[in-house]
Chains A and B, each alone.
Chain A
Amino acid sequence: MKTHEKLLLENRAWAALQLERDPEFFNRLEHVQTPEFLWIGCSDSRVPANEITNTQPGEIFVHRNIANIVDHTDLNMMSVVQYAVEVLQVKHIIVCGHYGCGGVKAAMGNSSFGLIDNWLRNIKDTYYNNRVELDNLKDASTRADRLTELNVIHGVYNLVKTNIIQRAWKDWNKPVLHGWVYRLSDGILHDLCKVEPGSEIERVYRFD
C-alpha cells in the first residue's frame, strides 16, 4: 500500500473513533469555529501545535512558517492575525519557537539555500541587533538557543507594533501575547515573555 493511501485510511479510522467517542463531534464543528488561541509556530514537523498542547480541532487557530517569523510585510501572516483578532476574537496569541530550529541555524551561518535566504534575513537582523550578547556566548549551540529565544521575543514585540493588536487592545482589551519555546529533547514548552493588553508601547510605534 502506498504511504499516502495509508494517510487516507488513518483519517477514516480517526473520524470513526471521534464519532464513537462523541457522536456530536463533527456536527458541533461543522458550521462554526471559536478558537481561544492563535498559534504562530514553526513549520517543523516535530512541533505540531495540537499534539503538544493536547488540544482538539476547533481549539487553536494555527499559522506556521519556517522559523516562526513575525514580519509585518508578510501578507499571509498579517491576514491570519487580522482575521484571528478581529473576527474570531481570540484571547491569546502564542508565538512559539523551538530549540534546534534549522531556520535559526541557517540564519547564523553563511551558506546559501536559495530563496529562503531572504526570508531568514529577519533572523540575521535579530542576530545583528544582539550581536554583543550572542558573540559572548561560549559555543554555537548555546548561541543558537539564545537566538531562537530572541527571535520569539522579537516576534511578540513585532505583533505589539501592528495597528491590529493596538486597536484590539483599545476596543476589547485583548488578546494577551505570549512568547514560548519548545524543547525537542523533552517535549516541554517554556514561556519566555507575556505582554498584557494596554502595556507600554515605544512612542514611535504607537498608533492613536
Chain B
Amino acid sequence: MGTNPNQSIFGSYRQDLTASVVVFFVAIPLCLGISLASGAPLISGLIAGVLGGIVTGLLSGSQLSVSGPAAGLASIVLASISDLGTFQAFSAAVVLAGVIQLVLGYAKAGAIGYFFPSSVIKGMLAGIGLILILKQIPHALGDDKDYEGDESFLQPDNQNTFTEILAAVMNLSTGAVIISTACLALLIFWGSDRIKKNAVLSIIPGPLLAVVLGVVLNLFFQNSFPELALSGIHMVDLPALDELSAGFSLPDWTILNDARVFTIAITLALVASLESLLSIEAADKMDPFKRVTPLNRELKAQGVTNMISGFLGGLPVTSVIVRTSANVSSGAQTKLSTIAHGFFIATAVLLFPTALEYIPLSALAAILLQVGYKLSSPSLWKEQFKKGLDQFIPFSVTILVILLTNLLMGIFIGILIAVYFVLKSNFHSAVLVVNHGNNYMIKFTKDVSFLNKSPLLKAVESIPGNSKVLIEGSSIQYYDNDILEILNDFKISALKKNIDVEIKKTKNALHPFFKSETID
C-alpha cells in the first residue's frame, strides 16, 4: 500500500472500483431497509443512495467516507412523514434541511466536529460494530424478518436486539447457516497474511469473493439440494423499475404555509449534520493515510446533496459508518469508490434490477459481521483500556448507551462523561499538597479558576495545627479572585491553629500575588 495519498482519483482505480462493488452490494439492502424503516417509498432510499455516492462524493473533501440514507435518521423521518401528512410534504422539508446545512457550512459550524472526544468517537465505532454483529447474526442464521440497517435496540416488530437473536436460533435455516459460515471462513482466510503477501490475490477484496461464493452456493443448492436453497425475503430484493417508479414523487411546496415544516427541517438538518460530522471523524480515524477531511466543506456537500435528494423525492442522507467501514476494509483509496458505488446503484435500478436477487442476505451478513468485528476489534478495547480510566469509561459508556438506546443518545451521554473526566482531572491536579515532616507545601500546577475552590479548601483544611505551610504558584499565570481570597483568609485562620503560612515570592513569578518586590 505504498500509494501516494495526494494522487488523482484515478490513480488507484483498480482498488477503488473493486471496493465500490462491495459497497454497492452492501448498500442496496441498506437503502431498501432504511426506506422501509422510515415508512417511505423504496425508491426514496435508492435515490438517496445514488446521490450520497455521486453528489456528496464529488463535493466532499473526504476520500473514504460513503454517504447515503442513514438508519440514525429513520425514526425522525418516520415521525416527520406522519406529522406532515404526505411524503411529498416531507420532501420539501428535506430540501429546506439541505439549505440549512449549506448555511451551517458557510457559517463554519463544522468546527464543532473538532470537539468530539476521541474516546467517544472510538466508542461510537465499537458500538456500531457490536450492533452490526448483533443485528446481522439473525440474517446469518436465515432470519430476515427485521429490515437491514436497523440500529436501534427496540425493533419495530416488538423484538429487541437480543430476543431477535434468540428467535433466529430457534428457527435456524440450514442453507443460510452454510452460506454465511462458508463466506465468513473465506473472508477470514482472505484476510490472512498468506493472501496479503500475494501481489495478485491481495488486489481482489475478500467481500467480493464472499458474494460470489454465496451466489454459487445457493445456485448449487437449487440444483442439488432444493430443501437448502434460499429465496424470497432471504435474498437481496430490488423491485423492478416500474414497481419502484410508482413510489416516485416530487416535493409538495404548499406545505411551506405550515410552520411545522421548518421545525422538522431544522431538526433534520441538525441531526443529519451531527451524524455526518461524527462519521467523518470516524472515517478519518480509519483512513490508513490519516488524511483530514475539511468539516465545513463536508456540511456544504451534505447540504447540496440533501437539497437535490429532496427535490427528487429521495430520503435525507448523511455520511454513514458501516458503508464507510466496508469501503475502507475493501481497500478503497480515493473518493472514486464512493462515486462509483452511486453509479452502480443507479445502473442496477435502471437496467438490471433482477440480477441482484441471486445474492443471499446471509452472504452479505458474513461481510457485515466482519466489518462489525473490525469496527469493534479487541485491540481497540485493549488500546482504550491502556489509556486509563478517563478514556476507557467514556468509551465503554458510549458503547453501552448506543447499544441500549441509539447512536445520538450514546454520543450525548459519552460526551458528558468525557467532559466530566476532563473537569475532574483539572480540579484535582491543579492543587498539590506535599509535606516533609511538619513542613507542608500547597503548590498550584495549572491555571486555577473558581472550579478549583473545593479542592483548595480541602487542601487547606488538611493541614494540621502547629505546622509550617509554604504556598507556591510562581509558574501559573491565572488565578481566580475567589482563590486568592481563600489564601488570604487562610493566612488569618491559620493563626488560630498555630500554622505559619508563607507565600513563596519570587522575582520570576507570573502572577503579582507571588511576585517579590524587586530591589535593584
Measuring CB to CB, which residues of chain A are less than 8 angstroms from any residue of chain B? 1, 5-6, 8-10, 12-13, 16-17, 20
Query: Is B436 among interface residues, defined by CB-CB distance under 8 A?
Result: yes
Kindly name the residue among B429, B435, B439 whose own CB sees the greatest number of chain A CB atoms within 10 A. B439
> In the assembly, what is the distance between CA of A12 and CA of B470, in Å?
13
Q: Report yes or no: A12 in contact with B445, Cβ–Cβ below 8 A.
A: no
Kindly name the residue among B429, B434, B439, B502 whose own CB sees the greatest number of chain A CB atoms within 10 A. B434
Q: Report yes or no: B500 in contact with A13, Cβ–Cβ below 8 A.
A: no
Q: Report yes or no: B436 in contact with A12, Cβ–Cβ below 8 A.
A: yes
Q: Report yes or no: A13 in contact with B429, Cβ–Cβ below 8 A.
A: no
Q: Report yes or no: B468 in contact with A13, Cβ–Cβ below 8 A.
A: no
Interface size on B, residues (CB 8 A): 16
**B interface secondary structure, majority:** strand
Q: Which residues of the partner chain A approach B472 to less than 8 Å between Cβ atoms?
A: 10, 13
Q: Which residues of the partner chain B approach A8 to less than 8 Å between Cβ atoms?
A: 436, 439
The residue that A6 contacts in the complex, of B429, B435, B470, with Cβ under 8 A, is B470
**A interface secondary structure, majority:** helix
Smallest CB separation, A184 vs chain B (Å): 15
Q: Report yes or no: B434 in contact with A16, Cβ–Cβ below 8 A.
A: yes
> In the assembly, what is the distance between CA of A12 and CA of B439, in Å?
11
Q: Which residues of the partner chain B approach A5 to less than 8 Å between Cβ atoms?
A: 436, 439, 468
Smallest CB separation, B427 vs chain A (Å): 13
Query: Is B443 among interface residues, defined by CB-CB distance under 8 A?
Result: yes
Smallest CB separation, A102 vs chain B (Å): 20
> In the assembly, what is the distance between CA of A122 and CA of B41, in Å?
94
- Nearest CB in chain B to that of A7: its residue: B436
Smallest CB separation, B424 vs chain A (Å): 14
Q: Which residues of the partner chain B approach A16 to less than 8 Å between Cβ atoms?
A: 432, 434
> In the assembly, what is the distance between CA of A6 and CA of B429, in Å?
21
- Nearest CB in chain A to that of B504: its residue: A6
Smallest CB separation, B111 vs chain A (Å): 29
> In the assembly, what is the distance between CA of A13 and CA of B439, in Å?
12
- Nearest CB in chain A to that of B500: its residue: A1
Query: Is B441 among interface residues, defined by CB-CB distance under 8 A?
Result: yes
> In the assembly, what is the distance between CA of A203 and CA of B424, in Å?
67
Smallest CB separation, A154 vs chain B (Å): 34
> In the assembly, what is the distance between CA of A3 and CA of B375, in Å?
57
Q: Report yes or no: A13 in contact with B504, Cβ–Cβ below 8 A.
A: no
The residue that B439 contacts in the complex, of A1, A17, A20, with Cβ under 8 A, is A1
Smallest CB separation, A12 vs chain B (Å): 4
Q: Which residues of the partner chain B approach A17 to less than 8 Å between Cβ atoms?
A: 432, 445
> In the assembly, what is the distance between CA of A8 and CA of B500, in Å?
17
> In the assembly, what is the distance between CA of A8 and CA of B472, in Å?
13
Kindly name the residue among B435, B441, B468, B504 whose own CB sees the greatest number of chain A CB atoms within 10 A. B441
Smallest CB separation, B363 vs chain A (Å): 48
Q: Report yes or no: B441 in contact with A10, Cβ–Cβ below 8 A.
A: yes
> In the assembly, what is the distance between CA of A17 and CA of B435, in Å?
14
- Nearest CB in chain B to that of A21: its residue: B429
> In the assembly, what is the distance between CA of A197 and CA of B325, in Å?
52
Other than A8-B436, A12-B434, A20-B429, give 11 A-B pairs with Cβ distance below 8 A.
Answer: A1-B468, A1-B470, A1-B500, A1-B502, A5-B468, A6-B470, A8-B439, A9-B440, A13-B432, A16-B434, A17-B445
- Nearest CB in chain A to that of B425: its residue: A20
Smallest CB separation, A18 vs chain B (Å): 12
> In the assembly, what is the distance between CA of A16 and CA of B472, in Å?
15
Q: Report yes or no: B502 in contact with A13, Cβ–Cβ below 8 A.
A: no
> In the assembly, what is the distance between CA of A16 and CA of B504, in Å?
19
What are 27 A-B residue pairs whose CB atoms fall within 8 Å in the complex? A1-B468, A1-B470, A1-B500, A1-B502, A5-B436, A5-B439, A6-B441, A8-B436, A9-B435, A9-B439, A9-B440, A9-B441, A9-B470, A10-B441, A10-B472, A12-B434, A12-B435, A12-B436, A13-B432, A13-B434, A13-B441, A13-B443, A13-B472, A16-B432, A16-B434, A17-B432, A17-B445
Q: Which residues of the partner chain B approach A1 to less than 8 Å between Cβ atoms?
A: 439, 468, 470, 500, 502
> In the assembly, what is the distance between CA of A206 and CA of B511, in Å?
57
Q: Which of B467-499 contact A (CB under 8 A)?
A: 468, 470, 472
Q: Which of B412-468 contact A (CB under 8 A)?
A: 429, 432, 434-436, 439-441, 443, 445, 468
Q: Which residues of the partner chain B approach A10 to less than 8 Å between Cβ atoms?
A: 441, 472
Q: Which residues of the partner chain A approach B441 to less than 8 Å between Cβ atoms?
A: 6, 9-10, 12-13
- Nearest CB in chain A to that of B469: its residue: A1
> In the assembly, what is the distance between CA of A6 and CA of B471, in Å?
10
Smallest CB separation, A37 vs chain B (Å): 26
> In the assembly, what is the distance between CA of A17 and CA of B429, in Å?
9
Q: Which residues of the partner chain A approach B434 to less than 8 Å between Cβ atoms?
A: 9, 12-13, 16
- Nearest CB in chain B to that of A6: its residue: B470
The residue that A9 contacts in the complex, of B429, B436, B445, B500, with Cβ under 8 A, is B436
> In the assembly, what is the distance between CA of A5 and CA of B502, in Å?
13
> In the assembly, what is the distance between CA of A6 and CA of B468, in Å?
11
> In the assembly, what is the distance between CA of A92 and CA of B102, in Å?
57
Smallest CB separation, A8 vs chain B (Å): 5
Smallest CB separation, A118 vs chain B (Å): 35
Smallest CB separation, B249 vs chain A (Å): 62
Write out, one digit per residue, whether chain B residues 346-388 have a CB within 8 A of any chain A CB (1) or not (0).
Answer: 0000000000000000000000000000000000000000000
- Nearest CB in chain A to that of B436: its residue: A8
Smallest CB separation, A62 vs chain B (Å): 23
Kindly name the residue among A5, A6, A9 whose own CB sees the greatest number of chain B CB atoms within 10 A. A9
Q: Which residues of the partner chain B approach A13 to less than 8 Å between Cβ atoms?
A: 432, 434, 441, 443, 472
Smallest CB separation, B385 vs chain A (Å): 15
> In the assembly, what is the distance between CA of A12 and CA of B429, in Å?
15
> In the assembly, what is the distance between CA of A86 and CA of B468, in Å?
48
- Nearest CB in chain B to that of A12: its residue: B434
Q: Which residues of the partner chain A approach B470 to less than 8 Å between Cβ atoms?
A: 1, 6, 9
- Nearest CB in chain B to that of A5: its residue: B439
Q: Which residues of the partner chain A approach B440 to less than 8 Å between Cβ atoms?
A: 9
- Nearest CB in chain B to that of A15: its residue: B434
- Nearest CB in chain B to that of A11: its residue: B436
Kindly name the residue among B436, B468, B502, B504 whose own CB sees the greatest number of chain A CB atoms within 10 A. B436
> In the assembly, what is the distance between CA of A148 and CA of B429, in Å?
44
Q: Lowest 10 A-B CB distances belong to which pairs?
A: A12-B434, A9-B441, A13-B443, A8-B436, A1-B468, A13-B434, A5-B439, A9-B436, A9-B439, A16-B434
> In the assembly, what is the distance between CA of A118 and CA of B466, in Å?
51
> In the assembly, what is the distance between CA of A12 and CA of B442, in Å?
11
